[in-house]
Amino acid sequence: METVDIVIKNANELITLKGPKKPRIKKEMNKLSIIKKGSIAINNGLIVETGKYLNYKARKTIDAKGKVVMPGFIDSHTHLVFAGSREFELDWKLQGLSYMDILKKGGGITYTVNTTKKASDKDLLKQAKNRLNNMSKHGTTTCEAKSGYGLETKSELKILKLTKKLNDTHPIDILPTFLGAHAVPKNKKTTEYVDILINEMIPKVIGLAKFCDVFCEKGVFTPSQSKKILECGKKHGLIPKIHADEIVDTGGAALAAEIGAISADHQNVRIWSTYCISNRFESKLLD
């Protein structure tokens, strides 16, 4: 009888998601491949087998009677390391102010950037760890984490380094994203800041970030500027992501397809464009 590290047995429901190797869409998302009274064998951190009756000797056995055993959630869009929560903006939103109106009043990204810069490493780590702990309590085991509340080389590097420290010490797996192109600092012209992103920031975040993201939006970065930033990221080995068409249809989703972005987030204006993106990269996801 083979010995494994862990056997979880007698689960009321074991959700395996077994099925075709492609993203589930529409009604397919209801097909969870559930095993009643299921068991799962794990060795060296990998799943060895799932089923009803497993023939293994386990170093540790967990009786999951009356419980559901399922894969951990993956949160693909988070802002983890920052200070300056903005609940106060809710009142402005209820008054009918737009995102750009709130930004002009001193809220939005600018408020969080200023508060983050004033916070100590210790405080930022404490706040981020609390966020990770809450994610873990609700079933998240992997998350993407963006920078973007520094908007200058030193602060962006600080956020990414703290993110790495959290990934090294917290049970949740963290995938870091460089989002220096989250907004344009008040003391910089957009073209000037794009040059800083390309010539200074991106080369310095290599090894600290896996993805490169950009806020492609009216009043922030144009599609051509966004493409320039993401292409630079690709040249340095960063996988492109994009904030697309949240407030105005700028063609961000189309740019995501053109540049080969792994995701196009937000898309409040043209939700249907998500379908185009998912189809565009279905073959890529199967690789």
Q: Which domains does the chain have, with CATH numbers?
A: 3-71 (2.30.40.10), 74-286 (3.20.20.140)
This model's pTM is above 0.95: no
Name the H helices within the chain: 89-94, 99-104, 108-118, 121-137, 153-169, 190-196, 202-205, 223-235, 252-259, 273-280, 282-286
Q: Give the span between the Cα atoms of 99 and 119, in whole angstroms.
A: 25
Neighbours of 152 (CB within 10 A): 18
Across the range 261-270, mean pLDDT stands at 85
Per-residue pLDDT tens for 166-223? Answer: 999 999 999 999 999 999 998 999 999 999 999 999 999 999 999 999 999 988 999 9
Of 83, 259, 87, 217, the residue nearest 159 (C-alpha): 83
Q: Give the span between the Cα atoms of 248 and 30, in whole angstroms.
A: 33
Please work out, in degrees rounded to the nearest 5, the angle formed at the alpha carbon of residue 78 by the alpha carbons of 76 and 80: 140
Q: What is the pLDDT of residue 270?
A: 55
